[in-house]
Amino acid sequence: MNNKDLVLKAVGELFGDKDPSAVDRWVSPTYKQHSTLAADGPEALRELISSLPADFRYEGARVIADGDVVALHGVYHGFGPEPLVAFDIYRVENGKLAEHWDALVPVVRDTVSGRSQTDGPTRVGDLGSTEANRKLVAEYAEKILKGAEYSLVTDYTSTETYLQHNPEAGDGLDGFGVAAAKWAEQGKNVVYKTIHKVIAEGDFALVQAEGEFGVPVVYYDLFRLADGKIVEHWDAIQEVPAELPHSNGLF
């Protein structure tokens, strides 16, 4: 079983079937947690699974596998009164889930672009471009997101097609520029300080970063690429809480 299938099987039993015994089958004894929702270790995950309400469900949208890491993008229903858009990253070791990171943000019904936070293409394609796309997105993250070298943005992003799923931004580079100006007026300048991960498979690449958006935040940015340029964007921007249920940090 490859890592993508392993993670999907494990998550299906844990969060689909809501089966606490799945922890014994799929989770490493040294499971390391970075989520805001659970303490460290497999027993804390078992407690979380056991506490899920009967109507809890996960609606998956996309899966990206990159070596020992698998990233999921979807929506959780039942963690609270409102659905949550989520990015989950799992590290697999010796056939078990060994480490987990995530970001969760509320579903926004009315978005500027008219797109939802998770709709759009779901199937990974163009596997031969994985490394080229990883390199491009890694450079984009360092130069544009972190370095704010906006004069170079069209080196990485298509000027013809840039489909936006951030709920407050419209399509195209101009759409994002309008949103960024509005955020700045609200005291929420977009600042990326550290790029932690770039996870790539085929025409998709996910960036995990930390920075500020008025307050300290975690950034998860998912990009779809075509013909060597970024053509679509999904994201989650989660505020860093004052306290975590573990000492591992969010990264």
In this structure, the dihedral spanned by the alpha carbons of residues 137, 4, 99 and 51, taken in order and rounded to 10 degrees, is 120
The contacts of residue 32 (CB under 8 Å, 6+ apart) are: 40, 98, 99, 100, 248
Tokens standing for 148? 């704010």
Q: Which two tokens stand for residue 193?
A: 């300080």
Looking at domain 127-239, its CATH class is alpha beta
E strands of 94-203, at which residues?
96-106, 163-164, 190-201
- Distance CA(97)–CA(84), nearest Å, equals 22
Q: Three-state DSSP class for 19? A: coil
Q: Tokens 């995950």 correspond to what residue? A: 45
Measured distance CA(219)–CA(48) in Å, rounded:
24
The closest of 173, 190, 168 to 113, measured between CA atoms, is 168
Residue 23 binned pLDDT confidence (cut-offs 50, 70, 90)? very high
CA–CA separation, 212 vs 215, rounded Å?
A: 5
Pick the CATH number of 3-106 from 1.10.10.10, 3.40.50.1860, 3.10.450.50, 1.10.240.10: 3.10.450.50
pLDDT at 240 > cutoff 90: yes
If one counts every other C-beta atom within 10 angstroms of the C-beta of residue 251, the result is 12
List, for residues 189-239, the tens digit of each pLDDT value.
Answer: 999 999 999 999 999 999 999 999 999 999 999 999 999 999 999 999 999
40/248 Cα distance (integer angstroms): 8
Number of neighbouring beta carbons within 10 Å of residue 73:
22
Span(s) in the chain for CATH 3.10.450.50: 3-106, 127-239
Tell me how far CA of residue 124 lies from CA of 48, 102, 130, 215, in angstroms: 31, 21, 10, 34
pTM value surpassing 0.95: yes
Distance, CA of 167 to CA of 113 (rounded, Å): 7
pLDDT for residue 238: 97
Pairing relation of β-strands 27-33 and 57-66?
Answer: unpaired
Angstrom distance (rounded) from CA 21 to CA 26: 9
Q: What is the pLDDT of residues 119-160, one digit of tens each?
A: 999 999 999 999 999 999 999 999 999 999 999 999 999 999
Res. 80: pLDDT tops 90: no
> What's the mean pLDDT in 78-97?
96
